[in-house]
Amino acid sequence: MIHSITMPKAILLLLAVLIGLSAYAQKKEKLKFLDADTKEPIVGLYYQYAQQSGASNESGEIELYFVEGERLVLSHINYGKWQLKSNEISEALKSNEPLLRTKHIEILQPVSVISLRPNLAEKDEQLSLNDTEKIHHDAGAILSLNPAINAIRKSPAFGFDPVMRGFKYDQLNVVIDGLQSANAACPNRMDPGSSQIMLNQIKKVEILKGPHALRYGNAFGTINFVSESPIFTPELALRGRASALYETNGNVIRNEAKVGLSSAQLNAGLLFSYSEGNDYTDGNGKTVPSNFLRGSLGAYLHYKPSNADLFSLTVNRNFARDVDFPTLGMDLRTDDTWMLNAEYERILQGRFFTKWVNKGYYTKVDHLMDNLLKPLDPRMMNASTPAETENFGYRSELQKLSENAQFYLGLDYKSESAEGEREREFVIGPNAGMKLYDNPWQKGKIEKSSVFSSYAYQLGIHSFYASARIEYNRAQSLNTEEAFEDFYETTNANQVNPAISLGYKAEWSDKLSTAIWLARAQRSAGLTERYINYFAVGMDPYELLGNPGLKAEKNNQMDWIISYDEINWQAEVNLFASYLTDYIGGEKTNLQPKLMNSPGVRQFVNIGEVFKTGFEFNFNHLISENFSQSAQLAYTYAENLSWEEPLAEIAPLDLRYSISANFLDNRGLISLNFRYVDQQNRVSTEFGEMDSPSFYLLGFESSFKFTTDWQLKLGASNLLNQAYYEHLNRPILATGEKIYAPGRNFYTMLIYRF
């Protein structure tokens, strides 16, 4: 029997067929996501788009139906969370090019990242670009771009020693690629480890706040300089860059260059940097001694015999000459350093762990300081101190990266040693011609052997993190002074230092997330704290005596982070509190100093209890397609509970604000920068620490990209010619005044890339 179809039913049937054909015609389209550094697929990338959701496959691809006006929300435990606008999705689908994303290191941790590889062609990075950082001769100086980090300055031009949340020296772990480090050969730390880093091979700096980065060490804060990743090309290609900068105040010139060859399996090249400057003028019109000369040569080699193997080798040679240190009794005359780093990575197929990474390094610093260029009148004594430090170590780590978890398991070993001899020759008086020799380092040596593990897991809106490390610390003196040996029962020490960190993060919505971190870590005393032998290396002129019997310093810390992320603006506040026991510091004694002008001797002891608290605040706002603004604020409060007074050398509240504009299709950039630093009147009377006044600064920077290859930058700092100094600056010996910063200063920079 044939049934007739009524008109309404026919219309409905036709509509159903048309809808079905339309759905069939709208095929799913693919987006591919790759790691920006390794170009490996991002597997397990979760996405939400309109009513669609899922995860990327082994090729890093996701499939979706395009919906006009909808945003694509993406998240991954290793890469964080971000969004793509409708027009960005459309352009990506049309171009069929993979989308790149930079991996976050320990994304749950309290961490700041400073970008050091600007590229005006990349719109997303334009608002935070600054080429003047990677041409700088001292990495400690560029760290101060983050208000949470300050620096102890004994020279106006070199050796800026970083301080983060009041933690300094051996309390901080300053490393390259999570491992390589250098120890200051100078007992006065004219050449801290941060000063030995060749910045034009660094991609970014990770500032990991607190004792949470246990993959890298037991320290109470980690500053990790991450090297540029190798670039492999299908055909043989020549790449390079050259930059030159001139500053008007102090006649400072800086140069840097990089040239390399790349192919499908090889990436190799050479690096160069050279800087020098003269005395500058402060805001009061006074001349500040600040002569310096600094240079570096480097070479790198990356070899990829297969997609699963990568061999890397870098060699750097740093040198410094005749650097003024007006706050000290001697100047830096020569500083020569070798830094070698080797690495092997293996991608593991079909195994529980996905990657095996092995690293080894060697660093040697040869340093000489003397007072022969000091304008002494009368000249009572000639003094010089040649000194050497040697660091080497290795690290082996297995990594397991999956869709919603990351797991690291490894071991490492580090050795650091220092030796040197101070010579004092009397020039006038009854002892004229007599020479005395002192042994400041006593050939101290510390070895650290550790095993570590960290695990992160994401479950819906919740993320969990746990990390642990146990370190065996062995210290010994190989050339001990007899008087020092008589003072202590033993000069050797062995300690076991456990550390643990736990974290939890919740993403309550697409906009709001909170995280809490708890950690307990301890660190053994460093070479200075254990073995320095009657040498004035602290903030006051007292000579310091090491103590090999020091207990390990313990830190119990909590970080609480609140983040809010809108489409055009983001804000984050990080609150922290730290309670330290067995705090290591210098205490006055009745011992007789070796130098007549020294007021006495301090001995390193475990002082007792210290409490710290504070916060960091960050705000970024994209006002429009061409305008943006940002603000950062940091403050630390610290109290020496055992001495019932403020802890020494704590920087005051620091506020930064900038507003930027890009123009001419992102070829140009101009930025106006403002900084305000509050007064610091919480000072240590025990160490004779002085108050410091507040100050504010105004500066600007601009850049213009003429062609793909050429770029010009112009800028100025301290436009209002303020006379100011940082609280942590040391006083000049001749006047007793702190080192004042440069007054008004203009710079111009030219960059060529090929």
pLDDT by residue (tens digit) across 188-241?
999 999 999 999 888 888 889 989 989 999 999 999 998 988 989 889 999 999
The total number of residues shown for the chain amounts to 754
Contact 490, 499 (CB under 8 A): no
CA distance 254 to 293: 10
pLDDT at 298: 96
pTM: predicted TM-score of the whole model, two decimal places: 0.87
pLDDT at 643: 95
CA distance 120 to 88: 19
Give the model confidence (pLDDT) of 606-638 as tens digits.
999 999 999 999 998 888 878 889 999 999 999
List phi, psi (to 5°) of 85.
-75, 165
- Residue 32, beta-bridge partner list: 61
pLDDT at 2: 40
Count Cβ atoms within 10 A of the Cβ of residue 76 and give its class: 0-12 exposed, 13-18 middle, 19 or more buried.
Answer: buried
pLDDT at 665: 77
Greatest CA separation for the chain? 135
The DSSP secondary-structure symbol of 92 reads: H
DSSP states of 616-656: EEEEEEE-SSSEEEEEEEEEEEEEETTTTEEPSS----EEE
Angle at 170 between CA 361 and CA 386, to 5 degrees: 70
> Which whole number is the average pLDDT over 277-303?
96
Nearest to 300, CA basis, from 272, 273, 274, 270: 270
| Single-letter amino acid code for the residue at 589 | T
Token code pair at residue 658: 């900038």
Give the model confidence (pLDDT) of 282-291 as tens digits.
999 999 999 9
- Which of the four pLDDT bands, split at 50, 70 and 90, describes residue 349? confident
Q: Looking at the predicted structure, is the pLDDT value of residue 552 above 90? A: yes
Task: List strands edge to edge, sheet with 161-164.
Answer: 149-152, 161-164, 167-168
Please state, for a pLDDT cut of 90, what percent of the chain lies above it.
Answer: 68
CA distance 388 to 336: 10
CA distance 419 to 187: 10
pLDDT at 518: 96
Least confident of 60-64, 462-466, 682-686, 723-727: 60-64
List phi, psi (to 5°) of 694.
-75, 165
* Peptide bond connecting 98 to the previous residue in cis, omega within 30 degrees of 0: no
Contact 37, 54 (CB under 8 A): no
Per DSSP, the three-state class of 18 is: helix
- Residue 180, beta-bridge partner list: 176
Q: Looking at the predicted structure, is the pLDDT value of residue 370 above 50? A: yes
CA distance 353 to 350: 8
Per DSSP, the three-state class of 328 is: coil
Contact 508, 566 (CB under 8 A): no
Contact 583, 573 (CB under 8 A): no
Token code pair at residue 596: 């007549």
pLDDT at 38: 65
pLDDT at 170: 95
Contact 340, 361 (CB under 8 A): yes
Give the model confidence (pLDDT) of 231-275 as tens digits.
898 899 999 999 999 999 999 999 999 999 999 999 999 999 999
Per DSSP, the three-state class of 458 is: strand
Give the model confidence (pLDDT) of 561-584 as tens digits.
999 988 788 899 999 999 999 999
CA distance 704 to 666: 9
The DSSP secondary-structure symbol of 65 reads: -
What Å distances lie between residue 728 and 169, 625, 690, 692, 700, CA to CA? 13, 39, 10, 9, 25
CB atoms within 10 A of CB 352: 8
Helices (H) and strands (E) in the chain, counts: 5, 43
Token code pair at residue 435: 């020479």
Q: Looking at the predicted structure, is the pLDDT value of residue 507 above 80? A: yes
What Å distances lie between residue 733 and 389, 541, 654, 737, CA to CA? 27, 10, 27, 8
pLDDT at 104: 54
Mean pLDDT taken over the chain: 89
pLDDT at 129: 32
Nearest to 312, CA basis, from 341, 346, 287: 341
Q: Rg (Cα) of the chain, in Å, rounded?
A: 28
Give the model confidence (pLDDT) of 144-168 as tens digits.
889 999 999 999 999 999 999 999 9
Q: What string of H, E and C letters represents the secondary structure of 714-738?
A: EEEECCCCCCCCCCCECECCCCCCE
What Å distances lie between residue 567 and 53, 78, 650, CA to CA? 20, 21, 36
Q: Looking at the predicted structure, is the pLDDT value of residue 10 above 70? A: no
CA 436 to chain centre: 41
Token code pair at residue 330: 């001697």
Q: Looking at the predicted structure, is the pLDDT value of residue 5 above 50? A: no
Token code pair at residue 524: 């053994």
pLDDT at 46: 79
Contact 684, 585 (CB under 8 A): no
Which tops the pLDDT comparison, 366 or 112? Answer: 366
Per DSSP, the three-state class of 750 is: strand
Contact 158, 323 (CB under 8 A): yes
Q: Looking at the predicted structure, is the pLDDT value of residue 724 above 70? A: yes
Tell me the Ramachandran region of residue 640: left when phi exceeds 0, alpha when psi lies from -120 to 50, beta otherwise. Answer: beta
User: Which one of 55-59, 130-134, 714-718 scores highest in mean pLDDT?
Assistant: 714-718
Count Cβ atoms within 10 A of the Cβ of residue 189 and give its class: 0-12 exposed, 13-18 middle, 19 or more buried.
Answer: buried
Tell me the Ramachandran region of residue 59: left when phi exceeds 0, alpha when psi lies from -120 to 50, beta otherwise. Answer: alpha
pLDDT at 131: 62
| Neighbouring residues of 425: CB distance < 8 A, sequence distance ≥ 6 | 381, 382, 383, 433, 434, 435
